[in-house]
Amino acid sequence: METRLLMEGDSVSLNSDTELKDDDVIDWRFGTNETLLARINRELDEIFIPDGTDGRFRDRLKADDQTGSLTIMNTRITDSGLYEVTIRGRKTTFTLTVYAATTPDPFTSRDASSSSSSSLSGLPKCEHVNITELCQTCAEGHAPCCDSVEAVLRLVVTALMGVASALAVVLLVNDVRASRE
């Protein structure tokens, strides 16, 4: 299983790393319900990309019949989840996590002038995150569709962002103390 982390709006290509044959049929699926995203039939030289039941990926998928790869353009947070490619009965799994483009980076968003001041205004604000809001909603109902692995990954990354923010505060305080001495 390969894990990919990227920011909302980025594009990502998922590659099977399998040597393809001229008569291969390649299926790309998404989520725990294994929604078909793309079918590449090399023998018939056809690529089929359905709109799906909710149209989530409409006009944002590209399949390559030469490499068997699937590219997702202009990614959204709801694109996070499990992707699976099947070639000749062999399955390869990818976990994709897409973060909001507004998520602050505590090491690059700090105002340079704040290091010589006792003000903490240059630090990013810590946000409380509700894990159920991060998971997409199933088309059938209101229950989140995140599987437990995805939910845990999201919680861990959110916790790491909190730790990084706290570390930035400690570094800033030490920097201010050192500049006063």
| Whether the predicted pLDDT of 33 surpasses 70 | yes
Closest CA to 3 of 138, 153, 175, 136: 153
* CATH annotation of 2-99: 2.60.40.10
Domain ranges of the chain: 2-99, 112-180
pLDDT band at 52 (very low <50, low <70, confident <90, very high): low
Say if CB 59 and CB 74 are below 8 A apart.
no
pLDDT of 112 = 42
**In whole angstroms, how large is the CA radius of gyration of the chain?**
21
Say if CB 85 and CB 91 are below 8 A apart.
yes
- Determine the 3-state secondary structure of 130 from DSSP: coil
- In sequence order, which ranges of the chain are alpha helices (DSSP H)? 131-134, 148-180
| Whether the predicted pLDDT of 128 surpasses 90 | no
Lowest-pLDDT range of 22-26, 78-82, 146-150? 146-150
